[in-house]
Amino acid sequence: METEHFDFIVIGGGSGGYAAARTAREKMERVAIVDGSKELGGLCILKGCMPSKTLIYASEILHHAKDGKTFGLDIPEASVDMPALHRRKLEIIKEFSDYREEQLKSDRFTLFRNQAAFVDESTIELDDGRRLSADYFVIATGSVVSVPPVQGLSTCPYWTSDNVLDLDTVPERIIVLGGGIVACELAQFLRRVGSEVVQVQRSPHLLREFSAEAASVVAQSFRDEGIELHTGTRLVSVQHETGEFRVTFEKDDETHTVCAPHLLNALGRRPATDCLNLEAAGVETLSSGHIGCNSKQQTSNPKIYACGDVAGPYEIVHIAILQGELAAKHAIDSEHEAVDYDDLVSVVFTDPQVATAGLTEEELKRRGIDYLSADYPFDDHGKSILMEAKYGYVKVFAERTTGTVLGAECVSKDAGELIHAMAVAVTLNATVFDLLKVHWYHPTLSEIWSYPLEDIADEI
């Protein structure tokens, strides 16, 4: 069978893959996208960002409605209509996925609805036997749910985030394994729509990629809302008998067992590389399972790039897009700046939300950077007090002598929105003195940034 040749082939049509294909098409004529998933759209649209944030926002509204008396409101009853919520989520997803499908199927690209595996360093074979070759490839196959070696877990009918995001009923009681972003966001969603939630986390604190201080605020919020939270555990076993899950774990030298009819495995994800036959292409992987890349997203085969969850180091949509664009630009002319992870923005959509921009305090210490820091709590801030949004704080890190903002942390309602003021500052190398020229409007949540900025400016 004849091999069809392209200038550029992207394997995976999610956010990163589409960004790579779109960018390559600006200069290259023959660009193909290979995506054998059941639906087009990618993880973010279909099973990640869009459905989860739709449900999380709805549960936040419900939470406030149930707390109406605190605001002087008489709301006799507030409850979730899960079938209606499910339908709304599907409508929103469809709007985004239809648009992405239209983009992928446009005559700018050649779309193959197939699985692919490499047969050599420049050729892939599709699952229907056809072969395609290219001058350049981008691997953007994303990630899949990971199943850690916990006794009994792999053989149990556990739920993944996919199952939770597809619910049209409220589980009476559920055990959530994990304390990462997905675990925390979905645990709080389930609690707010009416489930009894038991969350079991192996690390000493939730959200281990964020500071212990930030995690403690989220943990307190969870406990205040009635989530039974266990951190610092060692999972021993998972059993499933007569419709009930039994999770046994050790904590503080004691053995505990929790039971529920449902179990969510949210213990992480791993790169989706199993069927790609990377060895044939000369593409090496790291101990984490991620595809090893240089700063230009090139793999150990310089004609093959990787982006997004499959490459790491951050499983964030906007990072996947930046990496995909960089890969295509580098393939075109090789002279482009790498993605600057020192400007990274991260957000967790719990309530309170957790958000960071730039370098974390842990990273500043690791690098030996001389910095100043200042913080301010939301329970002493006008707008947050009247909103009953008192959980959390803001914190700013700045270079000691110049006041250049190096990073910031925000734990609060809408922290994901508030953090962008500091993200702009970090990216543009603004100083605290620059930011104090800003008109910080009162009363807003955003004006809270002015307090730590003033403290650092005074200290300098």
Residue 335 burial (C-beta neighbours within 10 Å; 0-12, 13-18, 19+):
exposed
Q: 11 vs 123, 193, 323, 363, CA distance in Å?
A: 12, 38, 14, 34
For the segment 307-318, the average pLDDT, to the nearest whole number, is 94
Q: With pLDDT > 90 as the criterion, what percentage of the chain qualifies?
A: 93
Measured distance between the N- and C-terminal CA atoms of the chain, rounded to whole angstroms? 71
Q: With pLDDT > 70 as the criterion, what percentage of the chain qualifies?
A: 100
Tens of pLDDT, residue by residue over 9-67, are: 999 999 999 999 999 999 999 999 999 998 888 888 888 899 999 999 999 999 999 99
- What is d(CA 247, CA 151) in angstroms, rounded to the nearest whole number? 10
For the segment 278-303, the average pLDDT, to the nearest whole number, is 96
Bridging pattern class, strands 405-412 and 353-358 = antiparallel
Cβ(278)–Cβ(287) under 8 Å? no
User: Domains of the chain (ranges plus CATH)?
Assistant: 4-145+270-340 (3.50.50.60), 161-267 (3.50.50.60), 342-459 (3.30.390.30)
Amino acid at 343: D
Tens of pLDDT, residue by residue over 205-237, are: 999 999 999 999 999 999 999 999 999 999 999
Tokens of 428: 């543009």
Place of tokens 């690209």: 109
What is the three-state SS of 68-83?
HHHHCCCCCCCCCCHH
Tens of pLDDT, residue by residue over 192-213, are: 999 999 999 999 999 999 999 9
State pTM to two decimals: 0.94
Cβ(336)–Cβ(323) under 8 Å? no
425 three-state secondary structure: helix
